[in-house]
């Protein structure tokens, strides 16, 4: 089963010419190992340690790691202690494997926990208690972290991206107060910088307050979001020009018989596709849409980015009868995985996950006794790449975040 490619669609570096058996081991075998196994290999000999700590190798290693969907698992023990784990769920292994990323061992004193963004092995999370919220950016693979004091309880974080010319990682956000104030700006925050956030545009004019969720896709140097006001659109932020624009979304006006699709039961074909999410498949932007009854998904692909031409790739009818008998629920949600990976189906407040292929066939079913899983819509790739901003901790970073599991 094909692995999803890098989320932002950037091309991989050219293959490195190999001249010795040791280089063959390093650049063909070690570079493909999971981070935990690679760290053990560093202890084998001095030469391997030197090779696998070089910046060029660390970047190549990151590019070759699988991109896995992040799933939040929440459970409560007999002592009423709430535990939350954020795991990368590897469906491409047999059997499927939960890879630990972050873990809150005692969530009782925290009211809200949110995964805001994931990019290049970095994750932005926040937790809050009463009217106080603390934001962190961390690398779960290296267990490094730094707080983001510029972000407050009112900050609405909508994207994390690498800035190509400066080499910085930047966060795009706006403040929730003054929602109807047309002078309210979007802000750009450079991670680890002592500089204050910079305003880049009025978010009411750009439409950020219409996005359904802060689930973005980074592609062609731009951030993309689902935008819904009077009609469905795609909101685009150019990370270089720091400007916004709107892109047309697909319209459901395709004759089903022309696509050779199996006729759909009219009872479940309610034509109300409110649950829409952006996906990125092999460097192409897509939109997945689930109907209101939670029984079917469509996948649209952007065939021409400049001309904004969309075509419907799949129409997937979920095995509702089979899943309902297991989960005791008839309302399902789904996350599209990849062109060959199918979909991950779940229902709120149920300890079940279902893996279906692109024809709607149920491939795997998962059930846990003590936790409730919920896909976040975000993806994670392990990275051992070093970032200088993790070494710039200031007075705001004294308190260690209440999480960490990782390696």
Give the residue-averaged pLDDT of 101-108. 74
Distance CA 59, CA 13 (A): 9
63 pLDDT band, cuts 50/70/90, is very high
21 pLDDT band, cuts 50/70/90, is confident
State the pLDDT at residue 355: 94
Task: Give the mean pLDDT of the chain.
Answer: 82
Task: Using the predicted structure, report yes or no on whether residue 271 has a pLDDT greater than 50.
Answer: no
Contact 289, 301 (CB under 8 A): no
In the numeric block, the tokens 């059997």 are attached to 95
Give the residue-averaged pLDDT of 361-373. 89
177 pLDDT band, cuts 50/70/90, is low
Q: Which of 33-37, 130-134, 201-205 has the highest mean pLDDT?
A: 33-37
State the pLDDT at residue 175: 82
8 pLDDT band, cuts 50/70/90, is very low
CA 154 to chain centroid: 22
Query: What predicted TM-score, i.e. pTM, was given to this entire model?
Result: 0.86
Which carries the bigger pLDDT value, residue 77 or residue 388? 388
Task: Using the predicted structure, report yes or no on whether residue 190 has a pLDDT greater than 70.
Answer: yes
Distance CA 145, CA 123 (A): 9
**Choice among 99-113, 114-128, 192-206, 238-252 with the minimum mean pLDDT:** 99-113
255 pLDDT band, cuts 50/70/90, is very low
Single out the residue of 128, 183, 215 nearest to residue 401, CA to CA: 128
Give the residue-averaged pLDDT of 359-363. 92
Tens digit of each residue's pLDDT (9 = 90 or more) over 192-223: 887 778 888 777 767 777 776 657 899 999 99
261 pLDDT band, cuts 50/70/90, is very low
Give the residue-averaged pLDDT of 372-401. 81
* Domain range summary for the chain, segments of one domain joined by +: 21-60, 250-369
Give the residue-averaged pLDDT of 44-54. 95
Question: Could you tell me where the beta strands, DSSP code E, fall in 68-176?
Answer: 68-76, 82-90, 97-104, 112-119, 122-129, 132-139, 144-147, 155-162, 169-175
State the pLDDT at residue 108: 60
State the pLDDT at residue 210: 73
Which carries the bigger pLDDT value, residue 12 or residue 124? 124
State the pLDDT at residue 322: 92
Q: Report the share of the chain in percent with pLDDT over 90.
A: 44
First and final CA of the chain: distance in angstroms? Answer: 26
Give the residue-averaged pLDDT of 343-367. 91
Which carries the bigger pLDDT value, residue 129 or residue 374? 374
Distance CA 259, CA 301 (A): 14
Distance CA 278, CA 392 (A): 34
Task: Using the predicted structure, report yes or no on whether residue 264 has a pLDDT greater than 80.
Answer: no
Task: Using the predicted structure, report yes or no on whether residue 55 has a pLDDT greater than 60.
Answer: yes
291 pLDDT band, cuts 50/70/90, is confident
Task: Using the predicted structure, report yes or no on whether residue 258 has a pLDDT greater than 50.
Answer: no
């Amino acid at each position: 089963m094909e692995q999803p490619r890098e989320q932002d669609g950037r091309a991989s570096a050219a293959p490195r010419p190999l001249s010795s058996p040791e280089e063959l081991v390093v650049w063909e075998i070690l570079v493909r190992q999971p981070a935990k196994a690679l760290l053990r290999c560093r202890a084998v000999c001095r030469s391997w340690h030197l090779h696998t700590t070089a910046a060029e190798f660390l970047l190549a290693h990151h590019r070759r790691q699988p991109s896995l969907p992040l799933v939040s698992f929440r459970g409560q023990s007999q002592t009423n202690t709430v535990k939350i784990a954020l795991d990368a769920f590897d469906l491409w292994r047999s059997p499927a494997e939960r890879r630990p990323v972050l873990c809150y061992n005692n969530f009782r004193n925290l009211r809200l926990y949110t995964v805001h963004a994931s990019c290049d092995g970095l994750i932005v999370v926040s937790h809050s208690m009463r009217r106080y919220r603390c934001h962190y950016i961390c690398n779960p693979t290296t267990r490094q972290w730094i707080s983001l004091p510029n972000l407050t309880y009112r900050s609405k974080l909508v994207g994390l991206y690498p800035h190509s010319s400066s080499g910085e990682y930047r966060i795009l956000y706006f403040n929730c107060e003054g929602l109807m104030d047309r002078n309210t700006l979007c802000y750009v925050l450079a991670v680890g910088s002592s500089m204050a956030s910079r305003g880049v545009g009025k978010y009411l004019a750009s439409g950020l307050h219409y996005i359904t969720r802060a689930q973005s896709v980074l592609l062609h140097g731009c951030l993309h979001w689902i935008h819904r006001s009077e009609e469905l659109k795609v909101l685009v932020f150019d990370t270089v020009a720091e400007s916004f624009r709107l892109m047309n979304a697909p319209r459901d006006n395709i004759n089903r018989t022309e696509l050779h699709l199996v006729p759909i039961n009219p009872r479940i074909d309610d034509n109300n596709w409110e649950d829409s999410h952006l996906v990125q498949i092999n460097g192409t932007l897509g939109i997945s849409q689930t109907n209101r009854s939670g029984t079917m998904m469509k996948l649209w692909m952007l065939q021409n980015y400049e001309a904004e031409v969309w075509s419907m790739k799949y129409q997937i009818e979920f095995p509702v009868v089979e899943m309902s008998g297991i989960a005791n629920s008839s309302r399902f949600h789904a996350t599209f995985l990849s062109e060959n990976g199918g979909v991950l189906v779940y229902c709120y407040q149920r300890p079940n996950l279902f893996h279906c292929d692109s024809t709607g066939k149920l491939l795997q079913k998962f059930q846990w006794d003590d936790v409730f899983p919920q896909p976040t819509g975000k993806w994670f790739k392990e990275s051992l790449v070093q970032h200088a901003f993790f070494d710039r901790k200031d007075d705001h970073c004294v308190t260690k975040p209440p999480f960490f599991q990782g390696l």
